[in-house]
Structure 1
Amino acid sequence: MPQLTETSTEDQQLLDKLRPSRIVLPVLIGLSVVGFMFWRSYKPGDLAPLANAKPLWLLLMLVVLVARDAGYVYRIRYLTQKVLSWRASLDVIMLWEFSSCVLPSAVGGTAVAPVLLHKEGIPLGKSVAYIMATAMLDNLYYVLAVPLVVLIGGDALYPHEALQGGLVATLRIGFILSYVFVTVYALLMLYAIFINPQSVKRLLVRLFTVRGLRRWRNKAYKMGNEMVLASAELRNNGRAYWLRAALSTAFVWTARYLVIGCLIAAFIDVSWPEFWLIFGRNLTYKVILLIAITPGGAGIAEGAFPTFFGKFIGTATMTNFMVLIYRVVTYYLYLVLGAVFLPRWVARIYGKRITDGTD
């Protein structure tokens, strides 16, 4: 009976996080911000570049979007050692993206992903291990990509043209601090998974006994246990497993950061140096999204977009149009897809349990 109660509670919490009504708030916030931006700066003549749209770049943007999602599906299927079918992998990724859109950016879909895998029949310990592996790989991509884009873009990664000196300095400090935090976290996960998980667990618990941090001690203890489980599940996987995981991670994140450049190039003539600078600015733009407290960064992502990319687009009206299209294809689309995939997934998972007599 306790196990059934615990399962029911877990199910209820999951379905509460994924309920379709959560779409309303981020859509209202995001579209209200874009609407205000258009109202403040709209000039019909500024949309003239739309008549010169380049179909090849638009097609390339769509290819990049599809490739990104295909890469995510491939990665989760092979990280779970093909326990997930292709259909289950697609469902998990769509619901993972949906949860990232309806939960605050600081929480993201990572909080929901282990439960999704668990509902697909993967033991919870393994589910946590696989999601920790994706988080570690994602962070390592960022750790390796930042020095490269800094080398290429230098100080141009910061939007001097849109921000005053003090704000640029604040953004630079935030970027550096976020990089240091992600690097330390990635290295800690590497050490915990492959070398000594117990020592990292003890370090976390001791760290969160310090006054001011004690209220998060239970979470730190839980995270330490998860690292120990992840280590047991993952450390013995061969080189081919990790090479495939690393390459698919590099593929999906590179595709993710290429979307804005492809979108801008579809309407505005940009040089290749500018295109790669746009790619690099995605990493500084990400700092703003990391600290966003709204669901999926709604409103904040739209409001910050012109600061980072307006320089490459030109007029405020055209920039606002780009914001709208960008959020449609990378955010609102996944709200719609999540609302489509969720009922099908619920019917497949919970219908199966009822049929099997496990509910």
Structure 2
Amino acid sequence: MSKFYQRFLLLFLLVCSISGVVIYTTVDINTLHNLTAFQPWSVALAVVSLSIGLVLDGTRLMHLVKVANEKITFKQAVHVVFGNYFLALLTPGATGGAVAQVMFLRHAGVPMGKATVLVIVRTLVSIFFLLCCMPFIFLHDAGILPGVDNETLMVVSLLLFLGIIGIVLASRTRSLDTLIGRITGRLSPHRKRVIVAFYRDIKIGVRLLAASPKSMVRIFFESGLSLLFIYGIVPCLLLGLGVTDADWYTVMGRMFFLNMLLYVSPTPGGSGIAEGGFVWLFADSVPAGTVGILAVSWRLIAEYIPFLIGFYYTIRVFGRDFLNQQLGK
């Protein structure tokens, strides 16, 4: 059996196991009663919300590529977006997602160096948008992280925000070059090359964005709108259960917080952590006995459907040999 089919089978078993455990441990006597009120139209609404978010993700990528003085079509941008979903779910820590994005960008005619930089910048812009939102979320939601007061969370988020701003500003001078040189001087040659290459790509990305501030602002807000629609899947599903009086600010804030955590998840595509985090964050704010089913439904629409579309595009463009090479590394 090829590496691809082995990894695909393991992912299928992992998803089924996690989904089964999450549903089994959260079902209670109220589940059937609450599910009978579910409206199927909310699933269609959730898919529409996801589709709008993915379209915005594609258009912001096109604008980002344009900043680098390159050009891709919307169809090629869609390939990049779905390719990311596909390989991210098949590799630990979602590392394959970056590889897929670079390969699709190269296939679209973007040089390797620029493609690598664009993928890094694309991810960092999304993370930066989420960090910008964190203080507003912590100010509103006092119980988002049990055991940690919101003042501490506010300080941490602000420090991270200021740290990113500081790194961006310092990367435009030689002071950070000297610091990186000292830090990597004691590391092994391999680790030094990896860190220096990553730092170099970030510097190039910062210069690209700084050279076109209007485009940078547009990309930033396009990233935010894309995330809002993608995370809007959960409110759509809640409406289908008859929940109309929810605190939607809190619901969206917790989706932002959960997805921020998923950026540092060690599991493929955040599998297990996403479902468990959802149950933990929403157990007290959804109809009784439905939190596990909602968690699985959210993951199905937000991750697994794009995964299957990404699988189709990857096979069509690169073939199975490409997958075996990437997954065999």
Give the Cα–Cα distance (whole angstroms) in 1 for the partners of residues 87 and 156 of structure 2.
Answer: 23
Task: Report the AA paired with residue 124 of structure 1.
Answer: M
Residue by residue over 1:72-123, the C-alpha shift from the partner in whole angstroms, topping out at 9 and shown as x without a partner, is: 1111112111611121111111101212222233646235423431232111
Moved more, 176-185 or 95-104: 176-185
Following superposition of structure 1 onto structure 2, how do residues 182-331 of structure 1 map, counting pairs within 5 Å? 182-183=160-161, 186-188=164-166, 190-191=168-169, 195-196=172-173, 198-209=174-185, 216-231=191-206, 233-237=208-212, 239-272=213-246, 274-286=247-259, 288-316=261-289, 318-331=290-303
Sort the Cα spacing of 1:228 and 1:240 in 2 relative to 1 into closer, same or farther, 3 A: closer
Task: Report the AA paired with residue 123 of structure 1.
Answer: P
Of structures 1 and 2, the one scoring higher in RCO (CA 8 A, sep 6+) is 2
Residue in structure 2 matching 1:47, options 32, 39, 42: 32
Task: Report the AA paired with residue 257 of structure 1.
Answer: Y
Sort the Cα spacing of 1:206 and 1:103 in 2 relative to 1 into closer, same or farther, 3 A: same
Unaligned 5+ runs, structure 2: 323-329
Sort the Cα spacing of 1:173 and 1:218 in 2 relative to 1 into closer, same or farther, 3 A: farther
Task: Report the AA paired with residue 136 of structure 1.
Answer: L
Sort the Cα spacing of 1:307 and 1:293 in 2 relative to 1 into closer, same or farther, 3 A: same
Give the Cα–Cα distance (whole angstroms) in 2 for the partners of residues 235 and 288 of structure 1.
Answer: 28
Residue by residue over 1:191-226, the C-alpha shift from the partner in whole angstroms, topping out at 9 and shown as x without a partner, is: 266x33x44333223223357x98732221112222
Q: Given that residues 234 and 298 in structure 2 are in contact (C-alpha distance below 8 angstroms), is that contact kept between their aligned partners in structure 1?
A: yes
- Give the root-mean-square deviation of aligned CA atoms: 3.2
Give the Cα–Cα distance (whole angstroms) in 2 for the partners of residues 243 and 334 of structure 1.
Answer: 27
The 3-state SS of whatever aligns with 1:105 is helix
Moved more, 131-140 or 63-72: 131-140
Following superposition, the deviation at residue 125 of structure 1 comes to: 2.2
Task: Report the AA paired with residue 317 of structure 2.
Answer: W
TM-score, normalization by structure 1: 0.76
Q: Given that residues 130 and 230 in structure 1 are in contact (C-alpha distance below 8 angstroms), is that contact kept between their aligned partners in structure 2?
A: yes
Residue by residue over 1:274-324, the C-alpha shift from the partner in whole angstroms, topping out at 9 and shown as x without a partner, is: 2221111123323542443221111222223211111112333x2221122
Sort the Cα spacing of 1:116 and 1:185 in 2 relative to 1 into closer, same or farther, 3 A: farther
TM-score, normalization by structure 2: 0.82
Give the Cα–Cα distance (whole angstroms) in 1 for the partners of residues 102 and 170 of structure 2.
Answer: 19
Count of equivalent residues: 316
Identity, in percent, stands at 17
The 3-state SS of whatever aligns with 2:197 is helix
Unaligned 5+ runs, structure 1: 1-15, 159-167, 351-359
Is 1:110 aligned to 2:95, yes or no? no
Counterpart for residue 346 of structure 1: 318
